Structure 1
Amino acid sequence: MASQYIGEICRYLLAQPVVPEEATHQMRLLYGNGLRAEIWQPFVDRFRVKIGEVYGSTEGTSNLGMACSYLLCCCDILLKSRYFYSAVNIDGHVGACGFLPISPLTKKMHPVRLIRVDDKTGEVIRSPSGLCIACNPGESGAMVSTIRKDNPLLQFEGYLNKSETNKKIIRDVFSKGDSCFVSGDLLYWDRLGYVYFKDRTGDTFRWKGENVSTTEVEAILHPEKGVADATVYGVAVPHREGRAGMAAVVRTGDDPGDDDEFVERIGARLAASLAPYALPQFIRLCQDVDRTGTFKLVKTNLQRLGYKLNVPDNKVYIYNNKLRNYQRLNEEILDELEQGQYPL
């Protein structure tokens, strides 16, 4: 038997007390994405299953597969799906979500590549010729996959929203006139060929097994009275899958009321407008947010800060699921958070 998983489910299962009944299951293979490296082997040892970790998207033109031998036995399925155009690793390498052969042929024949991007802005880096720069083993980059109209398996149909479609397509990638689907994620390609998910660079992050749109959350914050600027991003939290949402908010100078009242007001607006998984778990009140020369928000510095408390003129709030409101993050709560004991 086989079944699908998301990493958050595996974490929940592993956190449960051991019971005799769990040894009687007939499951031989679990396939999916988001299984964290630190719980991968304990999960396999406890539940005696093979893991098929994959990376990709439903609408994308190619995917990466980190599959075990059971997946290879399903060769008919592989040949009829987009996994035919993916690198498949059969040894279940812990933490990896795929494999790209280190070979000159990879550059010529394989539709999946990693390209260099700016660490701070997430923007694609181009050579003097105007083309993108392919990553070498040992480097991190954004995954791109070839779009070809003459091959049904490599077509990108796009979304209903044309502007959203255009965000996922970059042109003049490896030759003038070509186009690729860009995942918006940062991956690491090691010197053995294994590929690891590193971070999201686009306008989404993943939390509680769901994709959260940062622009959707920002659109709720911006019209609120007293908000001069706001940006939303995901931050890593120990012992948690994915990224917890965080909103960095700059107050206007003429808004009455103290910071706690202000956070209570915008918190109520967020809770009334968003699904629970999309609700920011943290709010950082700050003096300003960085922008590029073209006025695009730079979130990388804020992401590195995470929920640190030692930033002058900043206040950090955390969502309390029991009280259903935000409270000031202090050292005691921070310690619970670091130990994985605070209920997010």
Structure 2
Amino acid sequence: MSSQDYALDYDDANVLRRLTLDDDSNLRIYSFGPKNKSGSWSIVWQAVMHECDVFGTCGPFALCTYRPTKTCSCPPGFHRVDPNDESKGCDYNIPLGGCQNSSNSVKLVQVNRADYYFNDYNFDSTIKSLEKCKDTCMQDCKCLAAAYKYDGTGLCFLKGSSNKLYNGKQTLNEINMVFMKLSSLDTSAADDQHDPFLADANATVSDQVMPKINKRTVYLSRHLHSIILSVAIVELGLFATGAAVVAAVWKKISGKKWEEMTAEIEGLPTKFTYRQLQDATENFCNELGSGGFGSVYRGNIPEKGGIVAVKKITTVNQAEKQFKAEVSTIGRVHHVNLVRLLGYCAYGNRHLLVY
């Protein structure tokens, strides 16, 4: 299967370009030209858009996540091999030792929202139980970890194609819980859940604590909050009504053209606000390049996977057909070697695309 890729400034013939395999194993195209305000080479294309998707980027056993930039961390029961080089990954605090089937010699620690890609050596569709998945790994010498999907399918994947696990990833989008096999002698890792995305602010009062709290105080507190919330809702409603009138007038004046352009585009990607893209690009301070349709800026949207390219369209009125074709065509194409159109922004006469 062949594919054709384009740099962000592919329509600019007055630039120098170089193709580089960087230290992080990602292939990138850099350009340098008269429109480059930074005075240095700028990235205009890269093979893998999301840094955690680069094969083996964090080394063995490590978990790659975004905070908001790429960060490599070790799961419970592991330590970093080289504190100064995260690409060397992690290793056991206490080695597992030889092949032993006794459940007394090993234990499992749960890591939420994680997976180790391309390490599966066994998949049994008959395993639908969480406990069955864990027991199967515990009794299998080759199993270094078990991944269980909590999306309702109950699928279980045993990990351990070699004596190490690679391509660990932990994000909010993952629907797996991974059970890492550790030596039972390791007391540094508790047998509970490891989930860095859980915050103390989400903690609730347990049933055991509630009887100790004065119920009258709780009752009055809840009703006081309701009164304050009601007043806030009324004020918000009045504000929203006024804002809606202003927005309707503004949309009629400046948004008609955009509505005409997008009315015929099927499957339009996510719509962003202009403020969201301002924040994501730090007010458009890092320009990657420019071309016939406008300039492209580096941005960061963690909920969309991290690093993005935000393209400010400056010639919509003069190139309406080309712009519509770009949104409708690229918006429906999803391929590992193609830049993916994640969304757009239409705010007055400002039109932007997010890749």
> TM-score, normalization: structure 2?
0.26
Question: Larger relative contact order (C-alpha < 8 A, sep ≥ 6)?
Answer: 2
Whose radius of gyration is greater, 1 or 2?
2
